[in-house]
Structure 1
Amino acid sequence: MSEFFNEVDEEVRREQLKKLWDRYSIYFIALMVLVVAAVGGWRAYQYFEGRKAAEAGAVFEKAVELSEQGKHEDAEKAFTELAAKAPSGYRTLARLRAAAEASSRDPKAGAKMYDDIAADRSIGGEWQDLAKIRAAGLVLDSASYADMQQRLEASAAPKSTFRHSAREMLALSAWRNNDMTAARKWLEAIDGDGETPPGLRSRAEALQALLPPVAKS
């Protein structure tokens, strides 16, 4: 008797499953199609992105070769064109290299290009800071200390990636503009930072020796 009831239960379950399949099979099939399409689309996206990155890398290398051959205008043009159409990583690198090439013929133009990169929040903080440092280096000999301070003070903060370079340029600018108080401030920041590179520390000590003694009160 128990076997009879088991067979009945099994038949009922099969009938229920058949009804569920008849009712929902179209949705299940559609879901599977969507999953397959999504996986295929993702694979295709990865393939095309990889190919674009490889093409951008080849163009970048050719532009670097032009630069190494002294063909700076051609290199600048190549980097600028690459920056307009390359994937995001190469785009930022290409913009920085285009600014460097422009700097070799016109430092002011190069500084302006670096300033534009520094103002672009879409590229990330560290790239922006690097562009600020590069731009400041190009105008160091002509800019006022107030200008350099505006450019670099945030980058000279204790945890900033490029704080060492920023502090050195601020100290040099203050010394060049006869602001000895500010020069000492930045030299002390350099000296007090245990992570200051040895070469930079030596240059800071040399500049410190050029400062007049502090007047006694």
Structure 2
Amino acid sequence: MAVTPPTDEAFLREVDEELRRDQLTSFWTRYGRWLLAGIGLALAVFGGVLYWQHRQTEAAGVQGEQLSAAIDDLTAQKTDAAAVPLETLAGSDVGGIRASAKFSQGNVLLAKNDLKGAAAKFGEIAADTSLAQPFRDLALIRQTSAEFDTLKPDMVVTRLKPLVVKGNPWFGSAGELVAAAYLEMNRKELAGPLFAQIAKEETVPASIRQRAVQMAGVLGIDAVDTVEEKKAP
């Protein structure tokens, strides 16, 4: 029997498939090694990122242990033993470690009554934009406290007024310094109510609230009743 010649449709399909095979072979010959190189590079980068993250986690863990040991030394009054590791940790790539080490260095300087050196160390933290804002805000308060006697009162107010907001975690600490600056400016009408606000705020540490009650009373504002009402069931 004679073989039936292929229809136009079957013939075109065969030609199309053959053309695609030729194109694929040509493409692979021309670009195959570059594709393999690109895939290899992507895998290497991905592996490098994973390794870097692992090393960062390991480094943070080691540095955390070193920081804890240094703080233990400070607690035991072994400031010389803590000095070298704290200096190293103050250059850490981990923000929390770096900030904590610098805070510790600043506290050591305060203990030595080196107010200028302590203020400079706290100032480094406050100016470090890579750190979380709570670290920077606390550092600004500590810096201002160390510099308080050398600053003009209006500078204290300008620095810390943005933190003197109800609900801010540093309301009590910042507010106390701002109120003291108001007194330096002979603005008792501003200092008294601010001390009273601090006394009323339950989130403020008890020691600061107690001082605020006393200062408000000295300035003619009775904040004791309000505080006692807050304590009542």
- 1:26 equivalenced with 2:33 (yes/no): yes
Within 5 Å, give how 1:1-217 maps onto structure 2: 1=6, 4-5=10-11, 6-108=13-115, 109-139=117-147, 145-157=153-165, 160-175=168-183, 178-187=186-195, 189-190=197-198, 196-197=203-204, 199=206, 200-201=208-209, 203-212=211-220
Instruction: Report the alpha carbon displacement of residue 60 of structure 1 after superposing the two structures with TM.
Output: 0.8
Which AA in structure 2 matches 1:15? D
1:84 is paired with a residue whose SS is: coil
> Structure 1 residues 140 and 55 mapped into 2: Cα distance closer, same or farther (>3 Å)?
same
For structure 1, list consecutive stretches of 5 or more residues without a partner in the other structure.
none
> Structure 1 residues 212 and 158 mapped into 2: Cα distance closer, same or farther (>3 Å)?
closer
State the alpha-carbon separation in 2 of the partners of residues 67 and 140 from structure 1: 25
2:90 is paired with a residue whose SS is: helix
State the alpha-carbon separation in 2 of the partners of residues 70 and 144 from structure 1: 34
Instruction: Report the alpha carbon displacement of residue 181 of structure 1 after superposing the two structures with TM.
Output: 2.3
What's the Cα RMSD here? 3.2
Aligned position for 2:3: none
> Structure 1 residues 63 and 205 mapped into 2: Cα distance closer, same or farther (>3 Å)?
same
> Per-residue CA shift, 1:11-43, capped at 9, x if unaligned?
332222212222221221121121112112212
State the alpha-carbon separation in 2 of the partners of residues 103 and 76 from structure 1: 14
Identity, % of aligned positions: 27
1:54 is paired with a residue whose SS is: helix
2:77 is paired with a residue whose SS is: coil
Q: TM-score by structure 1 length?
A: 0.78
Mean Cα deviation higher: 169-178 or 36-45? 169-178
Instruction: Report the alpha carbon displacement of residue 146 of structure 1 after superposing the two structures with TM.
Output: 3.6
Which AA in structure 2 matches 1:54? G
State the alpha-carbon separation in 2 of the partners of residues 60 and 198 from structure 1: 26
Which AA in structure 2 matches 1:67? L
State the alpha-carbon separation in 2 of the partners of residues 205 and 57 from structure 1: 39
Instruction: Report the alpha carbon displacement of residue 68 of structure 1 after superposing the two structures with TM.
Output: 1.8
Which AA in structure 1 matches 2:161? E
Q: TM-score by structure 2 length?
A: 0.73
- Please identify runs of 4+ aligned residues in structure 1 that moved more than 6 A: none
State the alpha-carbon separation in 2 of the partners of residues 145 and 128 from structure 1: 21
Instruction: Report the alpha carbon displacement of residue 139 of structure 1 after superposing the two structures with TM.
Output: 5.0
Which AA in structure 1 matches 2:29? D
Contact 2:145–2:177 under 8 Å retained in 1: yes
> Per-residue CA shift, 1:142-179, capped at 9, x if unaligned?
86634532442233246754233211222244447754
Contact 1:72–1:104 under 8 Å retained in 2: no
Larger radius of gyration: 2
> Per-residue CA shift, 1:177-198, capped at 9, x if unaligned?
7541231242355468x67537
Contact 1:99–1:113 under 8 Å retained in 2: yes
> Structure 1 residues 184 and 11 mapped into 2: Cα distance closer, same or farther (>3 Å)?
same
